[in-house]
Chains A and B, each alone.
Chain A
Amino acid sequence: MSKSDLDNAFPNLALSNYEISSPKSRRYNCIAWACKDTTRKWDCFAFPVPPGYHWPKGASLGDDIVALISVFAAQGYAPCAESSLEDGYEKVALYVDDAGEWTHAARQLPNGKWTSKMGDAEDITHSAPEDLTNSIYGEAHCYMKRPSMKRQNEEEERDKL
């Protein structure tokens, strides 16, 4: 798929300033990428015979957004109100389609832009979660944040004093 294919599938992207930031890969998917794992696919859909793909132990299963929220909660994220850049925190945006099923996750970069793995296609860097609103991904339904590594280290240092 080319940039024009992406533009056609995601009309808001075509109007924004985005960049393709990786080659295509089937090795990982959007949930894995949002969790900074490029070694495997994350999905809870049951196989007729297990095992299926990776899904954190203890996380909820299913298509409801609650399942996806539980995955990021297990990574130390907590719900937050909006997508703006907050010093000392990293954020994710979780998407839900018209059927109410989770579809996608995007991760905020330290510069305030967002990064998304586009299915089996490339990773992209985009300006805002809304850039990916369409009939495939639906829209960003909620946001979650956790302290950045830098902030965690600072807090640990402070606790030692």
Chain B
Amino acid sequence: MMALAALTKSSGRGSASASEYEVSCVGGGSSNYSEECETDNVTALKFVELSETWKKDTEYLSKLSKKVMHPAYQRIIGMGRDAIPFILNDLKEDPADWFWALTAITGENPVAEASAGKVEEMAKAWLLWGRERGYGV
């Protein structure tokens, strides 16, 4: 099993600052466990920082094309599949506009046509997609 950094918000639901997150390692068994975990911690903190910036800067935007072209969002997409567990985790807490990023990274879209725009249903479809692929969400 791969080492995986888990993000836990120390406060309640909703947005939080980077300092409110605790990063811990789960999994193990690999000889490179601690190295993998450290790398993953860095990824986790990078994700938190970028997602906070994106949410703050685009809070008043409704238009998706403007939101997803924000540099922080694009950098998260640039993290590739490493970003998926963190995006799914965030989606579970607070269904922000992560759907475009998920389709861009994975080339998939598990959302049914009837759920288009219904963010809670879209989030559920992606969380199920994640569970089916072994992401612990």
Pair A49/B103 contact, Cβ less than 8 Å: yes
Pair B60/A42 contact, Cβ less than 8 Å: no
Pair B59/A43 contact, Cβ less than 8 Å: no
For B86-100 the 0/1 string (1 means CB < 8 A from A) is 000000001111011
Main secondary structure of the interface of A (DSSP, over half): loop
Total B residues in contact with A, Cβ cutoff 8 Å: 31
Question: Cβ of A15 < 8 Å from any Cβ of B?
Answer: no
Pair A121/B60 contact, Cβ less than 8 Å: yes
Give CA–CA (A45, B96) in the complex, Å.
16
When distances are taken between beta carbons in the complex, the residues of chain A under 8 Å from B45 are none
Pair B104/A41 contact, Cβ less than 8 Å: no
Question: Nearest chain-B residue to A137 (Cβ)?
Answer: B60
Looking at A22-30, A69-77, A85-93, the stretch in contact with chain B turns out to be A22-30
For A103-147 the 0/1 string (1 means CB < 8 A from B) is 110000000000001111100000000000000110000000000
Question: Cβ of B118 < 8 Å from any Cβ of A?
Answer: yes
Question: Cβ of B35 < 8 Å from any Cβ of A?
Answer: no
Give B residues with C-beta under 8 Å from A. 55, 58-66, 68, 94-97, 99-100, 103-104, 107-109, 111-113, 115-120
